[in-house]
A and B are shown apart, each in its own frame.
Chain A
Amino acid sequence: MEVRGRCWKFGDNIPTDQIVRSDRALAPMEEIVRHVLETLNPAFAREVKPGDILVAGKHFGQSSGRAIAPKALRATGIGAVVVEYAARLFYRNCFEIGLPLLECPGITAGVEDGDVLAVDIAAGTIRNETRGRVFYARPVDPFLRRMLQAGGIIPLAAELAEE
């Protein structure tokens, strides 16, 4: 599974509140998605295209564990999230809703906003086509790989219940 697109780069310690403002969490997704990450980069929600890659720094998605934050990112059409490391609830939520997330220490030093990236989710590689460099993400637990393949936790839980 490979996704290729423009890199949208964000900083460290970004809370879910800044991905989706908490007072918008109950709004319809069509509205939420127009405001994703707007306080950090207003162009992101307007210009993001399916297959683009979101890159961020340390402890991405900290604070509230609302799955609405990764769901809103998925609704923008981004193909993958690549971070130095994620907050654990955000990490968990991404796999549970079927949004691929890779943790790749050193990634923020190797890519710039606007670079073209190709991400191989299964292999855990991130190729920066603009700069000709390759990065290797931390391996993903087999249970979580299975969850992504199943399409998230809802189908996986049903599968496990049958076993």
Chain B
Amino acid sequence: MNLVEKILARASGRERVEPGEVVVANVDVLLMHDLSGYLTSRVFEQEVGRPMRYPDRVVLVFDHHFSPPTEERAEILEKTRQFARRHGIHLVDCQNGNIHHVAVQRGFVRPGTVVVGSDSHTPVHGTLGCFAAGLGNNSHAGMVMPFGKAWFRVPETVEVQLEGRLRPGVTPRDAALWLTGQIGEGGAVYKALHFTGGFLRDLEVWDRWLFPLIAIDVGAKCGFIDPDEKTLAFVRAVTDRPFEVVTSDPDPVYAERWQYDVSDLEPQVAASPTLGNVHPVGAFAGRPIQWAELGGHGGGRLEDFRQAAAILKGRKIAPGVKLNLVPSSREVFAAALREGLVEILFEAGGSWFPPSTGSNQAINMGALSEHEAMVSTHARNFPGRNGSPKAMMYLGSALTVAASALKGAIADPREYLQ
């Protein structure tokens, strides 16, 4: 069995499980953010009406709002806070960071566990060797909260083997964007993606994280990486809570095996309307942008700010461009401060925002007009997600975001790295 099958077997009290079987498994942690938390709380209290079975396993992170923009939103947050207090669940309030980064930094996510969440990017936690999948509000309210369980169809697994070394100016995020295009939207529907290979093995944990992050956008149920020494050192540095590591058997059975080499990649940009519209940066170079942002699900990492600083140190962004800097957690901001990145990026013309999910979904930081465009490290570029459905959204690496902010248009970061 592979890691996901072993975890599901253990959590459902079975010797083994086979792809296609439906199992009811014990859940170790449920992650919810402020948008889904409120919707789920209403279903739980109005339609289920049972006690919260394991409050210690339920974590609510307010990350889409760092400050509520309206009285109505303030009221929703307050009702959700009251819900958290009423049931004794964990609450991480506004300005502490993005749900997934916070869940890792605070040790809620540990290897070998079953992690579920309302956010569709929940599969990112497969990075630490978890079975992690997104579920809907009614799963959480109807089954996880009252019974501590969830139902799963055991997925077939595809091996995604990544080899090669990236060229200068090309980052793991470029490789992940490119891979999204290679597999294709819906190219792995219902599958588990087992990420393997020398390229991945050489990456640090926060860079590995960008690969299970894309699982949802190619339609997969989950993605995972077998834990190694790097994973365990990483987890031990953030938590002293115990965990039991699970790894795949040698030569597990795969439905398919896909191999990719990242050695010849150029920087990649995915333009609206969907992530599948991903091309080498040259395809979009010169298209004007007014917003540039380092933040969002999977963005706002220390690695992103380091990359941006490599390009922006001693330079100024173009007039008319806003560069939003949104750390994914308080720990990231503190580290950026220590490394001098806060000052470098501020002097270049950027503005720091509270740790959160950033301008995602136009909640905190304003909306794009139909005449504007944004380049960011966000995870999504669907029309209307950050304001006008006509506003263009480009996704790229932190290097590409920084280079584009300098130019006021989509730019190839390699021009600035010589």
The interface bits of chain A over 91-128 (1 if a CB of B lies within 8 angstroms of the residue's CB, else 0) are: 01100110000000000000000000000000000000
Contact B186–A85 (Cβ < 8 Å): yes
Chain B interface, number of residues (Cβ within 8 angstroms): 48
Contact B138–A13 (Cβ < 8 Å): no
- Cβ < 8 Å to B, chain A residues 49-78: 58-59, 62-68
Contact B385–A65 (Cβ < 8 Å): no
Whole-angstrom distance between the alpha carbons of A66 and B38 in the complex?
12
Interchain CB contact (< 8 A) of A17 among B138, B146, B385: B385
A63 touching B120 in the complex, CB below 8 Å, given contacts A25-B35, A87-B189, A157-B143: yes
A88 touching B189 in the complex, CB below 8 Å, given contacts A17-B382, A65-B135, A66-B137: yes
A18 touching B382 in the complex, CB below 8 Å, given contacts A23-B362, A89-B120: yes
Whole-angstrom distance between the alpha carbons of A65 and B219 in the complex?
12
Tally the A-B contacts, defined by beta carbons under 8 Å: 119
Whole-angstrom distance between the alpha carbons of A26 and B75 in the complex?
12
Whole-angstrom distance between the alpha carbons of A66 and B189 in the complex?
18
B358 to chain A, nearest CB (A): 14
The interface bits of chain B over 21-52 (1 if a CB of A lies within 8 angstroms of the residue's CB, else 0) are: 01010000000000110110001000110000
Contact A154–B186 (Cβ < 8 Å): no
Q: Does A21 contact B (CB under 8 A)?
A: yes
**23 A–B contacts from the bound complex (CB under 8 Å):** A13-B185, A13-B274, A18-B382, A25-B39, A26-B39, A26-B73, A39-B384, A39-B389, A62-B185, A62-B217, A63-B120, A63-B380, A87-B186, A88-B189, A96-B136, A96-B142, A97-B136, A97-B138, A154-B138, A156-B142, A157-B143, A157-B147, A160-B24
Binding site for A on B (CB under 8 A): 22, 24, 35-36, 38-39, 43, 47-48, 73, 76, 118-120, 134-139, 141-143, 146-147, 149, 151, 153, 185-186, 189-190, 216-217, 219-221, 274, 276, 361-363, 380, 382-385, 389
